[in-house]
Amino acid sequence: MGICLRQFFCRTFVIFLCLLGSPLHAALDIEIFGGGASQIPIAIVPFASEEKLKQSVTAVVASDLQRSGIFRLVDSGGLSPHDPRDIIYPNWQMLGTHALVVGSTRMLPNGQVEVRYSLMDVATQELLISDMETVSVKQLRAVAHRMADNIYEKLTGDVGVFSTRIAYVVKQGKKYALQVADADGFNARTAIEYTQPIISLAWSPDGTKIAYVSFENKKPVVHIQTLATGARKAIAKFKGSNSAPAWSPDGKRLAVVLSIRGGSQIFLINANGSGLKRFSRSSGIDTEPSFSPDGQSIIFTSDRGGSPQIYRMPVAGTASGVAERLTFEGDYNVSPQYRHDGKSFTFIHRSGSKFNVAVQDLETRQVQLLTDSLFDESPSFAPNGKIILYATEIGGRGILAAVSSDGRTRQRLSAQTGDIREPAWGPLPKWR
């Protein structure tokens, strides 16, 4: 895996390149394109004594906020207050920033680091956040992500996702590795490696486990792996193919796709592998289930109408429920995933020979195409519904990409070698 972080900012943030933190743990290269129409200008002053730390905190905060596409970083122009009392507001107003972050770090005798920071509204001179945390040096990136989450939440009203993790599969030669990394591509580690394909990753709602499909038994089998221990269990290993796991919101059961009764049909099964129950009943293909956040319905791909389209069916009416067709534009709409609030879903829409990420509003039925690449796959919403992570390819190589839900900002995440694919965005951490 790669060990360097490259960022190409298409706007004016080159100055922050020099602030980027230790590149030694980055597994993914991240490039950013575009930006929101009305970005919030924010200045982040390097913290007092930060230069003595191995890991810059403000560089991580700046990188997080900038990557969201919602913020525009304003150069501090040589001003360097570290305490709210030292801020001369007219100077910052002249620089055109709306928000200002100042703070300090202090090495404690026990080796821990005390991090203090404040977020100010430059126009009103109001103190929006004032916080302090004491952490080990190893946790400095995590602290920075939490700061970015708090700042993001205070200024946008939405939940930040900088402390979340993503999972994906890296194919290198004949090896397939399931990796988990921080949302910024750092701290990647391999959860399991096979010489057979791995597909269809699904995070448990509490973020402790990942369900996936592996072919190590020379056929697709659904496994659940506990991340902390590495323990794994085959929960669907029936005759035929077993695939497409999706967790119920309470984490107690999963929807899986089995061929045991002929065709590919959706079944419900408890997370311990017991209590198998048929969910869908068609003569065709029913696959790619996704639970609604309230657990009341499942959206899925079916070719029952002659072409693959997305349908919705209530969970209570298992096997007798009526499926309602949701997509009508084009003859290939697949891979649906609910947004966290259940109001819309993302999916892959084919037009001509292009496969692109789209979002459909469930109430208005309005469809928005978010990408114009060639081969997009496996879209999944960030847990705040603001970004969609998906797989795509450039020059025949698989990479991950992310697009903001308004389509304006895009990121590319690529491994330095190998194909990267099958991304899944993890849930919010417990402290949220």
Q: Which residues bind other proteins (CB under 8 A)?
A: 197, 199-200, 215, 218-220, 239-241, 243-244, 257, 259, 262-264, 285, 287-288, 301, 308, 332, 334-335, 348, 350, 355, 375, 377-378, 396, 422
Exposure string of 249-263, with b = 16+ CB inside 10 Å and e = fewer, is eebebbbbbbbeeeb
Sole residue written with tokens 């919101």: 249
| Residue 258: CB minimum distance to other proteins, A | 10
Structure tokens at 74: 């304003």
Cβ of residue 243: shortest distance to other proteins, in angstroms?
5
Residue with Cβ nearer other proteins (148 or 201): 201
User: Is 204 or 302 the residue whose CB approaches other proteins more closely?
Assistant: 302
The CB-of-94 to other proteins minimum distance in angstroms stands at 52
Task: State the nearest-atom distance from the C-beta of 213 to other proteins, in Å.
Answer: 8
Select 266 or 428, whichever has its Cβ closest to other proteins: 266
In the complex, the smallest distance separating the C-beta of residue 421 from other proteins, rounded to whole angstroms, is: 8
Question: Closest separation between CB of residue 292 and other proteins, Å?
Answer: 19
Measured from the CB atom, is 102 or 391 closer to other proteins? Answer: 391
Q: Which is nearer to other proteins, 5 or 285 (CB)?
A: 285
By three-state DSSP, how is residue 395 classified?
A: coil
Contact 7, 18 (CB under 8 A): no
Q: How far is the CB of 311 from other proteins (least distance, A)?
A: 13
Q: State which residue, 44 or 235, has the beta carbon closest to other proteins.
A: 235
For residues 69 and 379, which CB has a smaller minimum distance to other proteins in the complex? Answer: 379
Alpha carbon 251 to its chain's center:
19
One-letter amino acid of 237: K
Closer residue to other proteins in complex, CB, 161/266: 266
DSSP-derived secondary structure letter, 136: -
Closest approach of other proteins to the CB of residue 205, in Å: 20
Which one, 334 or 382, has the nearer CB to other proteins?
A: 334
Helical H segments across 68-201, by residue range: 89-94, 140-156
Per the CB < 8 A criterion, the answer to whether 63 and 184 are in contact is yes
Structure tokens at 227: 């991340």
Query: Residues near 258 by Cβ (< 8 Å), separated by ≥ 6?
Result: 236, 238, 240, 241, 242, 264, 265, 267
Q: How far apart are CA 27 and CA 22, in angstroms?
A: 12
Alpha helices in 271-384 (DSSP H): none
Choose between 89 and 332: whose C-beta lies nearer to other proteins: 332
Least distance in angstroms from the C-beta of 284 to other proteins: 8
Pairing of strands 165-172, 419-425: antiparallel
- Cα 266-267-273 angle, rounded to 5 deg: 140
- Give the C-alpha separation, 127 to 11, whole Å: 29
Shortest Å distance, C-beta 200 to other proteins = 6
What is the token pair recorded at 362? 């469930």
- Using DSSP's 3-state secondary structure scheme, residue 219 falls into coil
Beta bridge partners of 71: 40
Question: How far is Cα 418 from Cα 415, in angstroms, rounded to an integer?
Answer: 6
Q: To which residue do tokens 């910024």 refer?
A: 184
Q: Smallest gap, in angstroms, from Cβ of residue 276 to other proteins?
A: 18
Between 237 and 432, name the residue whose CB sits nearer to other proteins.
237
Closest CA to 372 of 37, 9, 33: 33
3-state secondary structure of 381: strand
